[in-house]
Amino acid sequence: MTQKTQQKTQQVRFVEVDPDQAGQRIDNFLRTQLKGAPKSLIYRILRKGEIRVNKKRVKPDSRLVAGDIIRIPPVRVPERGEAAPVGAGLAEHLEQAILYESDSLLVINKPSGLAVHGGSGVSLGLIEALRQVRPDSRFLELVHRLDRDTSGCIMVAKKRSMLRFLHEALRQRRVQKIYQALVVGRWEKRQQVIDAPLLRFELKSGERMVKVHEDGKPSVTRFQVLRRFQDRATLIEARPLTGRTHQIRVHTQFAGHPIVGDVKYTPDADNSQFRALGIRRLMLHAARLELELPDGEKLSVAAPLDQDTENMLESLLKVSGEE
């Protein structure tokens, strides 16, 4: 990457796209260039035409070509030293949570409650914490996302070539994601496939939600019962065959068994019952990833539940019994 001017947030910058960056969407490119800037800011300066590619306005999904000259206006973003510092406890936890590492890829068992990136009132996310813990790593980027309260496997690319490879693999559904969820009530069928289109919408408050709707995008999830706690709850495995926002959360709700601890899609009365038993988190866990790496290696990574969540399940077992 060639920079035509010194990188300062208080000056206009002109950045030339190198061959390794070709094919990226402009919004994703800017997130790398403007680390710490909220997505809302990036989309705002794109809409206002303050970002120019070869002196022309562009849309957020425009793809870059090697040699493109990007005009980036003055933007105030936090410097690395201004970010919320990573405490010793979190730093140690993240290192211990690494499930797999190579020279181009990290897979981490993300704890529930940790956002994957900062912004929208979150001063420190997983990716910012990793960059602080590993200051010598020149490239660390999220491959995909997990909701803040979902725990489990998440991939972080250490090389741009791996990021591109995995984005294409995800697009082609060549990455298998296997989740575990504790749902309300007795899930009757041992195995079940839910094929129900999902539509994103906004409430009047501005909160983004998803619902089953005939005008939505095709969405399919395969479910299997792992463990029943009598009629109180069921531990299930979920394999999304499509990759829609909140897919598992909405499909379980559609099946009549929303996920325990889900403040968006589970009735307050249900969540209150489980909170009284000490279960206070969203009980959705990305338990396993299966994929083929660029060299042909078959990779299967499993993320164990943390001890607190195991204890929650044990407390539920004591009051409910198990089948």
Distance CA 144, CA 87 (A): 25
From the list 14, 25, 83, 78, the residue with the least C-alpha distance to 52 is: 14
What is the DSSP pairing of strand 141-142 with strand 220-229? unpaired
Instruction: Examine the residue annotation and report whether 147 is marked as an active-site residue of this protein.
Output: yes
Phi, psi of 71 (to 5 degrees): -90, 120
From the list 2, 23, 18, the residue with the least C-alpha distance to 163 is: 23
From the list 114, 119, 116, the residue with the least C-alpha distance to 42 is: 119
From the list 305, 187, 304, 286, the residue with the least C-alpha distance to 235 is: 187
Beta bridge partners of 25: 63
From the list 96, 90, 133, the residue with the least C-alpha distance to 115 is: 90
Beta bridge partners of 201: 209
Distance of CA 197 to the CA centre of its chain: 21
**Of 18, 61, 136, 147, which one is the catalytic site residue?**
147
3-class SS of residue 313: helix
Task: Give the residue numbers annotated as catalytic, written as ranges.
Answer: 147
